[in-house]
Amino acid sequence: MKTTILEGTKAFQQEMKQWMDHMHQNPELALEEKATAEYIAEKVKSFGFEVAEGIGKTGIVASMTVGENKKSIGLRADFDALPIQEVNNLDYKSKVEGKAHLCGHDGHTTMLLGAAKYLSQSKNFNGTVRLIFQPAEETMQGGPAMIQDGLFEKFPVDAVYGMHNMPGLEIGKLYFREGKMMAAVDNWEIALTGKGSHGSMPELGIDPIVCGASLVMALQTIVSRNVSPWQNSVVTVGAFLSGNAGNAVPQDAILRLSIRNMDATLREQVLDRVRSITKAQAEAFNCQYEIKEGIPGAVLVNTPENTHWAAKVARDVFGEEKVVETLHPYMGSEDFAFMLQKKQGTYCMLGNGDTPMVHHPEYIFNQEILPIGAAYWVGLTEAYLQ
């Protein structure tokens, strides 16, 4: 089994590269992935899967049943890109200005397509495998959208599994962790409204930039002075948008926040501090304010039994030296967390080697791991649906 699966997926590694190259050159952002979804659907249909499209707007579920076993397993990959300009000299570089697959979602989808082709040819399982191709992971919208659209009611599974490449981890190794693995993220926007004025007469205006600058610094005290050093929390102001001219006091300012917590109770405490500090700072500078709260975040919690079982399967497929079960938690976030709230399962990391981090303009998904990821999916399917 160890050699057969990996050799089988390596046999069409060049074809997988072609699939990934196509998606990488034609990136689409969250919930705009119409052409990508059509490309994925065409592939899995050609493999003989029963395909449902438009789940959660652009999501896809491809199902195949072999034999009479009633057991079912769900395998999930994401396929949205990022609004970041790629800075690479790849022969398959993004053709779209300001958009690129700089998180590896094109690679994730390619690995699941590779598993789909292998499984359709071998049919070495008894039961139902469901391939969940999910949009809009980057905005935390896709998972909730598919669930709300009846994902697990229309396409029932006993458990669901996810995987992500990770720069900095040894290439080709699979890393597992039971319990809390990734933080809940809350993407908020704070709008400050002041009063515009000529830059030479600031006394006639209300400056939202000064208010916003003070607010940025005040928000940094939440983690440093309100969160225990033994707990995990991050408050990042990633965007501060205001004004266009150096000689004018603008009317408005926008702050965009990424708030991450590894504990549900701590999350509520941190969010309350963001609200109260924003109110106090706005009042202090005589500005009006509005907080636009995004999709409520969720901590990604891996089911222990499923995690240990998946790691065992990985050892059977790749060997003991290729599996690590002591991965540290990440403050990054994943909307696969919402699926794990509904179903048991686990989410693992696949080492991408010594490359720039995901979301970096020079990030590169290492295509050498494509058959490894595909073999992992096949291994899980064949082991569960014996």
Both tokens assigned to 335: 């909307």
For β-strands 248-249 and 288-292, DSSP reports them as: unpaired
Q: Is 153 annotated as a binding residue?
A: no
Alpha-carbon gap, residue 220 to 276, rounded angstroms: 13
**C-alpha closest to that of 24 among 97, 89, 107:** 107
What are the residues whose beta carbons fall under 8 Å from the beta carbon of 272, sequence distance 6 or more? none
**C-alpha closest to that of 112 among 23, 201, 189:** 23
Question: Rg for the chain (alpha carbons), in Å?
Answer: 23
Q: Is 103 annotated as a binding residue?
A: yes
Q: Is 138 annotated as a binding residue?
A: yes
C-alpha distances out from residue 296 to 198, 249, 338, Å = 40, 34, 10
Alpha-carbon gap, residue 334 to 327, rounded angstroms: 16
Question: 254 and 242 in contact (C-beta within 8 Å)?
Answer: yes
Q: Is 287 annotated as a binding residue?
A: no
Q: Is the dihedral of CA 137, 143, 148, 153 positive or negative?
A: positive
Amino acid at position 331, single letter:
M
Q: Which residues are annotated as a binding site for Mn(2+)?
A: 103, 105, 138, 164, 359
Q: Which residues are annotated as a binding site?
A: 103, 105, 138, 164, 359
